[in-house]
C-alpha cells in the first residue's frame, strides 16, 4: 500500500498553521512516517530591517522558529527532526524537501504575515508551484484559533 515515509511540516509559529500541523501529524501517525518540522528565517525580512537591529531581528526570528518547532514536537508526542534554516522561505522549503527525499510537504495557506490574504499565501503558493513532491495545503477553519503553528515566513 503506498503511503508516506517522510513528511515535512513547514511551520511559522502562527495560529493559522495549527490545523496544518495537526493534519500532518495525523498522517504521520497513520503511516508511521518520519516528521521533519521546518521553520525558515526569512532572509528578506532580516535584510530589510535597519542595519543597527538586523542581528537582533535574526535572533528574534530564530527564537520564534525554535518555539514553533518545539510546539510541533510537543504536539507530535514522538520524535520530530527539528530544522531551522535561513533564506527565501519557499526556496528553502522546496530545497529541504528535495534534500531529504520527502514524500509530502504540509503547510498552512496563510502565515503570520498573510492573515488577511483572501486566497493562498504567497509562500504556500510558490511551494505548490515549485516543489517536486506533493504539497498538502491546509486552511484554518473559520472560528479556529489554533494552538501554535508555523514559525517564520508567511505561508
Q: Which domains does the chain have, with CATH numbers?
A: 6-151 (3.40.50.12370)
Q: What angle do CA 104, 133, 41 make, to 5 degrees?
A: 75
pTM: 0.83
**What's the pLDDT tens digit per position in 126-153?**
999 999 999 999 987 665 544 333 334 4
**What's the pLDDT tens digit per position in 24-33?**
999 999 999 9
Query: Is the pLDDT score of 115 beyond 60?
Result: no
Q: Are 96 and 85 in contact (CB under 8 A)?
A: yes
Amino acid at each position: 500500500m503506498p503511503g508516506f515515509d517522510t513528511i515535512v511540516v513547514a511551520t511559522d509559529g502562527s495560529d493559522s498553521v495549527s490545523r496544518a500541523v495537526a493534519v500532518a501529524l495525523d498522517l504521520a501517525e497513520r503511516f508511521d512516517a518520519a516528521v521533519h518540522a521546518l521553520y525558515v528565517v526569512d532572509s528578506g525580512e532580516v535584510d530589510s530591517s535597519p542595519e543597527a537591529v538586523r542581528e537582533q531581528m535574526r535572533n528574534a526570528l530564530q527564537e520564534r522558529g525554535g518555539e514553533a518547532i518545539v510546539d510541533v514536537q510537543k504536539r507530535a508526542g514522538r520524535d520530530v527532526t527539528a530544522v531551522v534554516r535561513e533564506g527565501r522561505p519557499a526556496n528553502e522549503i522546496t530545497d529541504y524537501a528535495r534534500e531529504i527525499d520527502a514524500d509530502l510537504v504540509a503547510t498552512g495557506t496563510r502565515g503570520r504575515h498573510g492573515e488577511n490574504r483572501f486566497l493562498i499565501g504567497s509562500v504556500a503558493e510558490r511551494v505548490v508551484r515549485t516543489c517536486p513532491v506533493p504539497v498538502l495545503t491546509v486552511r484554518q477553519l473559520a472560528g479556529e484559533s489554533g494552538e501554535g503553528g508555523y514559525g517564520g515566513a508567511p505561508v
